[in-house]
Structure 1
Amino acid sequence: MVSEYVYSPHVDFFIDRVDRDSGYEMASFHIHHKYEIYYEIEGSRRYFIEDAAYIVNAGCVVLIGENQIHKTASLGDTASSRIVMNFSREYLDKIMDIFPEVDFFSFLSEEHNHLLSNITVKQQNHIQGLLQQLLALQEETSPESDALRKMLLATLLLELKDLCRQQQEQGGENGRVSNHIVDQIQAYIAEHYAEKLTLTGIASQFYISPYYLSRLFKKSINLSLIEYINGVRIKAAQNLIEKSNESISDIAEKTGFMTTAHFRRVFKDATGLSPQQYRQYYKRVNK
């Protein structure tokens, strides 16, 4: 059975279980103004987050912060099951008002916390149990169900935060798959993303063939070179949209897109919103 997970930028909380009988790869990278928790029930995946790749096995938890680029793909053509949850900071506003001294969110964005892999079977079962309860409430609309959903989410966040602390104290591996050449290329793109970048041009900078660069990038971080460049540009564009009143066409030019039309298309594919809609959304949630 295949359950399709569809991200919606207009919903403050969403959870779904995705079951697949064979391998699957996201068509492109994804970025949104929400947090994400991903629990692998069965199978193994390769997960790309920001500028790093991770191997995710059954029982692992993936944590993704706001506006962090990510993409996932199968490791082989095997069955897999996972639970995916998106939620906004605003969804827990009332609980945060009650506990203003508690930080529910910042740990989700820290690089060393992206992959929780040192989890006991008992802890795995407990996390999955909380997620199953949240799944059962997905279609419920009563005030009582909404209150229970928020309390369960707050409980899950605090328990995951503590597991992250334990993993750090135990010196557990963060699961990152690294490649020295790819790291250098990523640093180069971060510095030159506003310029015209091509596969051939970047390959020549590092004295490697375009073919080798293309295969190396795809194998290491599960993104094509152009996907990665577009991701860096979209993040830079989001920052400009949030912090300036510059026109969309000026932002497109400043972040390396050749045309405004292309920028609009890539931005909407990545975020689910047009640049104008994203600006309106950001102003609404940050007023």
Structure 2
Amino acid sequence: MGSSCGSIHSPTCRKEAAGTMSDIYSERLNPVPQGFSIHKAHRTSPFNMPLNHYHDAYEIYYMCSGERYYFIKDRTYRVQPGDLVLIDKHVLHKTQNITNGHERILLHYRDGFLDSLFGGSAWDPRSVFGQPVIRLNIKQQAVVESLLDRLLEESKAQTPESPIYVKITLMELLLFAGRCMRELASVPERTEPDNPMFERVASVAAYINGHYAEDLSLTLLSTLFHINPHYLSRIFNKVTGFSFVEYVNLVRLKEAQKLLSAGELNVTEVAESVGFESLTHFGRVFKASTGMSPKQYRQRFGN
């Protein structure tokens, strides 16, 4: 089930020096310029993902060896060998060390990449991304590793058939993941419940995701959850990798992107709908994150 290590079509992430607000937010959205990319890495020393980010593509992460904490949207998961991680597009996430080294396979694909195969199908591959972490049994691990090895090989191959094989194999991986999810439907979602700090931050993050359109402040959340504001600020950053303000703004920006793409509201209405009181501040933060103004974003991605 092993395969050779190497980087194949790894996604290009737009990185700028941190410091100003523009620098910080531009590092959060990591664009995936190609329709598909896959990369295998084996790290022998501790590694913490330097950026907390989200993608304009779907992400699949398979843990070959080692263990890591994976913060996804508003929960922390302990990811172990044989776990399959499925992250929907525009979902904030970050990984952190548990063990000194680890080996993983990471792939991304964008909307439209599989349209030629799934067009007209009653099954929607996006349904797979409803459960972030799937713990596979030994038999399931063998199937997934075989499919990932094939994707690595075909991505590197330069034959006329390779692009088709990649799409077919990715489709098979998604279908198999969907089947595994149904088989594990009775198993509770795996998070990291043993650490009270993780649970408290998860509750705060979940509240932000459900109330982003409202007036949110560190003082308000510390009062609601009976946590000292300085302590909340510190543990929130430690668990998620985001400051409180960064996280609130990024949740609002993701929702703004959805509304702008739908095209039913003007820019002012979108800003108000996601909780920005100042249109100027909304435009500045939005452009720093996406590289374009809200109006430009709607023109490019609007329906």
SS at match of 2:52: coil
Partner residue of 1:238? 257
Correspondence list, 1:160-171, <5 A? 160-168=177-185, 171=186
Q: Helix, strand or coil for the counterpart of 1:162? A: helix
- Call closer, same or farther: CA 1:42–1:227 in 2, change over 3 Å: farther
Question: How far is 1:148 from its partner?
Answer: 0.9
Counterpart CA distance in 1 for 2:132 and 2:208 is 22
Structure 1 residues 11-65: Cα deviation after superposition (integer angstroms, max 9, x where no partner): 1111111232322233343223322110011211111222222110111100112
The letter for the 2-side match of 1:163 is: C
CA distance in 1, matches of 2:215, 2:157: 49
Could you list the runs of 5+ residues in structure 1 that have no partner in the other structure? none
Structure 1 residues 174 and 211, CA gap change in structure 2 (3 angstroms): same
Taking a change above 3 Å as real, the CA distance of residues 90 and 208 of structure 1, as seen in their structure-2 partners, is same
Distance change (3 Å), C-alpha of 1:124 and 1:253: same
Matched, 1:228 2:247: yes
Question: Which residue does 2:88 correspond to in 1?
Answer: 65
TM-score, structure 2 as length reference: 0.76
Amino acid at match of 2:235: L
- Taking structure 1 as the reference length, the TM-score comes to 0.80
Match of 2:62 among 39, 48, 60: 39
Structure 1 distance, partners of 2:267, 2:44, is 42
| Residue in structure 1 matched with residue 125 of structure 2 by the alignment | 104
Question: Would the aligned equivalents of 1:194 and 1:255 in 2 still touch at CA under 8 Å?
Answer: yes
2:287 to 244, 252, 264: 264
Q: 2:151: which partner in 1?
A: 134
| Seq. identity, % | 34
Q: Are 1:175 and 2:193 an aligned pair?
A: no
Residue 163 of structure 2 aligns with an amino acid whose one-letter code is D
Given that 1:242 and 1:279 are in contact with CA atoms closer than 8 Å, whether structure 2 keeps it comes out as yes
Residue 221 of structure 2 is matched in structure 1 by 202
Matched, 1:282 2:293: no
**Hey, what does 2:171 align to over in structure 1?**
154
Q: Of the two structures, which has the highest relative contact order with CA contacts closer than 8 Å and spacing of 6 or more? A: 1
Instruction: Name stretches of at least 5 consecutive residues in structure 2 with no aligned partner.
Output: 14-30
Report how far residue 233 of structure 1 moved.
1.0
Paired letter, 1:61: L
CA RMSD between the two structures: 3.0
Do the aligned residues in 2 keep the contact of 1:5 with 1:18 (CA within 8 Å)? no
